[in-house]
Amino acid sequence: MRVSSVCAALLVKYIQQHGEHFTKSDSQLNLSSAYQAKTIRDFDTHIVIPEYGFHDVEHYYTEASSNKRIKYIHTPTLILSANDDPVCPVDGLPIDDVLKNPYIIAIKTLEGGYVSYLQGLWPKAFSYDNIVVVVDYIKARLKQRGVSKD
């Protein structure tokens, strides 16, 4: 939830700095409500939903999600997801569709999240601990294409 609140604060700051552009749109935005947003979901509810004509936040998230497109993937694809990801929650991944698709490899890690699998609350360095599987996947794809021998 911390990442969501930090992102919401940054979005609110942006709206406060550029609010005049939003008041010129045809939609009926309630900027004072948007200024109170404590989470990304709050922000989406007060800005994205009215601005782009979605019925509600669930409608927006459903339409923005790639989940309904997973069954149409026909290119080798690696999905890397983390239990602690606040933006792309792992429980939102349609596991049945992923398991049925021979072009997809899905990896779920305990930690990593949305921001490059950094370690710690205030990370100072990139962690390769969770990324080894990505390197292995890329090596296998290159070998399959005859680009690499190892």
> Which has the closest alpha carbon to 109: 94, 123, 124, 88?
88
Amino acid at the residue 120:
G
**pLDDT for the residue 29:** 76
**pLDDT for the residue 84:** 74
**pLDDT for the residue 125:** 54
Question: Can you give the residue ranges of every domain in the chain?
Answer: 2-63, 65-144
Give Rg (Cα) of the chain.
19
**pLDDT for the residue 54:** 94
**pLDDT for the residue 24:** 64
Per-residue pLDDT in tens (0 to 9) along the chain, 150 residues: 566 788 888 889 988 888 777 766 666 777 888 899 999 899 999 888 988 889 999 999 989 888 889 999 999 888 888 777 777 777 778 889 999 999 998 888 777 665 554 455 555 555 555 567 677 778 887 887 777 665
**pLDDT for the residue 128:** 57
**Look-up of token digits 């406060």:** 16
Q: Which residues fall within 8 angstroms of residue 38, CB to CB, at 6 or more apart? A: 5, 8
**pLDDT for the residue 107:** 80
**pLDDT for the residue 101:** 93
**pLDDT for the residue 70:** 92
> Which has the closest alpha carbon to 56: 69, 68, 41, 67?
41
**pLDDT for the residue 19:** 74
Helices (H), 65-113: 95-100
